[in-house]
Amino acid sequence: MPQLSLLRIAPQRVLNSVVAALLLLTMPTLAPAGAVPPPQASVALDDSATAAQIAALLPLTVTFHDRMGTAALAQLPTPLPTDHAAPMNEYRAGDVAYVTAEQSIVVFLTDGSAVPDRGLTLLGHLTTGLDELVDCGRDCTVELTLGSRT
């Protein structure tokens, strides 16, 4: 009797091995052909020293993290100078600001006025790419590029 159960198990193992081999052979065709470039967001920068510093970094690929649907925040590779920068008192959807305490940029997704006492410096305004950030559920990698004021 034990020989009979081995005959039932052996074909199943062979079949499993064949299926596994086929999956391994077809995996490269199932993988994407190449890396998909991140979506772009263009920012029209203000005329300030801080904005000039970020312009020197562009184009720059950053990963934005959602802040409860109100803003998206991304860490910068280097700090920006904020000497003599005018503080922000309110914001509009698409405004791009520098957060000194976090060495990050923030893109506001909605209009509002709840701005910290200090630490936000207006850099400019998105001319393209706001919809991608609004639709982003969690972390979004975006390439920031230099846009022009309309």
* pTM beyond 0.85, yes or no: no
Residue 109: count other Cβ atoms within 10 Å of its Cβ.
25
> Looking at residues 28-56, what average pLDDT do you find?
81
Per the model's pLDDT, the better-predicted residue between 75 and 37 turns out to be: 75
- Alpha carbon distances (Å) from 50 to 18, 68, 126, 133: 61, 26, 16, 23
In this structure, the answer to whether residues 87 and 60 fall within a common structural domain is: yes
pLDDT category at 31 given cuts 50, 70, 90 is very low
Residue 39: count other Cβ atoms within 10 Å of its Cβ.
16
> Looking at residues 28-48, what average pLDDT do you find?
76
Question: Which pLDDT score, from 0 to 100, does residue 97 have?
Answer: 94
In this structure, the answer to whether residues 21 and 62 fall within a common structural domain is: no
Question: Which pLDDT score, from 0 to 100, does residue 23 have?
Answer: 58
In this structure, the answer to whether residues 27 and 86 fall within a common structural domain is: no
In this structure, the answer to whether residues 103 and 59 fall within a common structural domain is: yes
**Four-residue CA torsion sign, 139, 140, 145, 150:** negative
The per-residue pLDDT for range 77-125, each reduced to its tens digit, is 999 888 777 778 889 999 999 998 889 999 999 998 877 666 789 999 9
In this structure, the answer to whether residues 24 and 48 fall within a common structural domain is: no
Range of the domain at 70: 40-146
In the chain, the number of structural domains is 2
In this structure, the answer to whether residues 48 and 27 fall within a common structural domain is: no
Pick from 104, 24, 112, 15: nearest CA to 65: 104
In this structure, the answer to whether residues 18 and 64 fall within a common structural domain is: no
Structure tokens at 89: 């008192």
Structure tokens at 40: 């772009």
At residue 8, the 3 state secondary structure works out as helix
In this structure, the answer to whether residues 66 and 126 fall within a common structural domain is: yes
In this structure, the answer to whether residues 76 and 4 fall within a common structural domain is: no
For residue 38, what are the contacts with CB-CB under 8 A and spacing of at least 6? 61, 141, 142, 143
DSSP 8-state symbol, 79: -
Which CATH number covers residue 48?
2.40.100.20
Question: Which pLDDT score, from 0 to 100, does residue 92 have?
Answer: 94
